[in-house]
């Protein structure tokens, strides 16, 4: 089952998607009551988006579930939360939460590409930890493309993040500015200038600059022929992770680009969830 939620981040009402493990249900009214009780305000609607075709025998509340927070890529309508991905994630025994970032899908505020919108991720995680069917010690974060910025900021800034996954992710936004001429206008507008004029804005949105603040295992995933985010971003990040002694793994998809073909995509998801379920291991080369 997939719901769209309205919740609070700073003073804004923002949107996000909650996907339950396949076959499980939870009343929308009870979910809305939990939101409004936590944020101490009314009018935080919950809308059912999709429902599982088959129902499990047990109740969602019979156990505490791990959570994967999926940080979307892009900005605005480009790279919006992929509900098809939520459906692909749902058979793997996790609750999935996907923040839309402020200013998107009817949410208030303005997406800052890893600026103040980072609170949208943090606020959602703080709320999720209060739900009685969530295991607060097993909340992991995955960032796709631009989402690697928000995901890494989350893992660097919040305690008790279980694991971090960076899929086709930007690791150095100043490098992206040089590589992606088509994104320069947007980056200058959102960040207030070029990397030379606003170095701190680019550095704070660069996962490779945040590695020293990480304390959880990291999985890096990338297609070797990615034309949107060059694989060099992930290779350099992976080397930095190993140098810092963090438990890490690299899933390289040889011959594939930013988006994987459906069968490869589903296998990549299965591998990712298998890694999430593994115990912490030393860095692997």
Tell me what pLDDT residue 285 has.
35
Q: Tell me what the mean pLDDT of segment 257-277 comes to.
A: 98
- The answer, yes or no, to whether residue 215 has pLDDT greater than 70, is yes
The domain locations on the chain are 56-171+206-277
For residues 29-34, give the mean pLDDT: 98
Residues 6+ apart with CB under 8 A from 255: 223, 224, 225
Write out pLDDT tens, residues 98-137: 999 999 999 999 999 999 999 999 999 999 999 999 999 9
Q: Cα angle at 27 between 89 and 86, to 5 degrees?
A: 15
Architecture of domain 56-171+206-277: 3-Layer(aba) Sandwich (3.40)
Catalytic entry in 52, 251, 258, 265? 258
258 included as an active-site residue: yes
**Coil, helix or strand at residue 89:** helix
Other Cβ atoms within 10 Å of 28 Cβ, number:
15
Annotation says 145 is catalytic: yes
- Please state the φ and ψ torsions of residue 137, each to the nearest 5 degrees: -85, -5
Mean pLDDT of the chain: 95
For residue 134, CA distances in Å to 63, 103, 172 come to 8, 27, 33
Q: Pick the catalytic residue from 140, 145, 148, 206.
A: 145
Helix axes 28-39, 118-128, angle to 10 degrees: 110
Q: How confident is the model at residue 196 (pLDDT cuts 50, 70, 90)?
A: very high
């Amino acid at each position: 089952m997939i719901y769209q939620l309205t919740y609070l981040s700073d003073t804004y009402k923002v949107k996000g998607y909650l996907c339950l493990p396949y076959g499980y249900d939870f009343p929308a009214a009870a979910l809305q009551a939990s939101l409004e009780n936590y944020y101490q305000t009314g009018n935080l609607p919950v809308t059912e988006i999709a429902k599982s075709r088959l129902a499990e025998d047990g109740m969602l509340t019979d156990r505490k579930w791990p959570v994967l927070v999926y940080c979307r890529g892009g900005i605005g309508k480009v790279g919006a939360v992929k509900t098809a991905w939520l459906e692909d994630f749902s058979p793997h025994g996790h609750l999935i939460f996907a923040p839309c970032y402020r200013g998107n899908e009817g949410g208030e505020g303005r997406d800052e590409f890893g600026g103040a919108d980072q609170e949208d991720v943090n606020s959602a995680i703080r709320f999720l930890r209060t739900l009685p069917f969530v295991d607060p010690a097993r909340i992991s974060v995955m960032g796709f493309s631009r989402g690697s910025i928000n995901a890494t900021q989350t893992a660097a800034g919040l305690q008790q993040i279980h694991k971090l996954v960076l899929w086709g992710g930007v690791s150095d936004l100043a490098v992206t500015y040089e590589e992606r001429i088509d994104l320069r206008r947007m980056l200058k507008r959102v960040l207030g200038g070029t990397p030379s004029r606003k170095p701190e804005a680019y550095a704070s949105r660069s996962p490779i600059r945040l590695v020293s603040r990480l304390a959880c295992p990291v999985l890096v995933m990338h297609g070797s022929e990615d034309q949107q985010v060059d694989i060099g971003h992930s290779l350099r990040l992976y080397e930095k992770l190993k140098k810092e002694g963090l438990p890490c793994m690299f899933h390289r998809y040889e011959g594939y680009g930013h988006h994987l073909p459906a069968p490869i995509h589903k296998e990549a998801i299965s591998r990712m969830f298998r890694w999430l379920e593994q115990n912490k291991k030393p860095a692997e080369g």
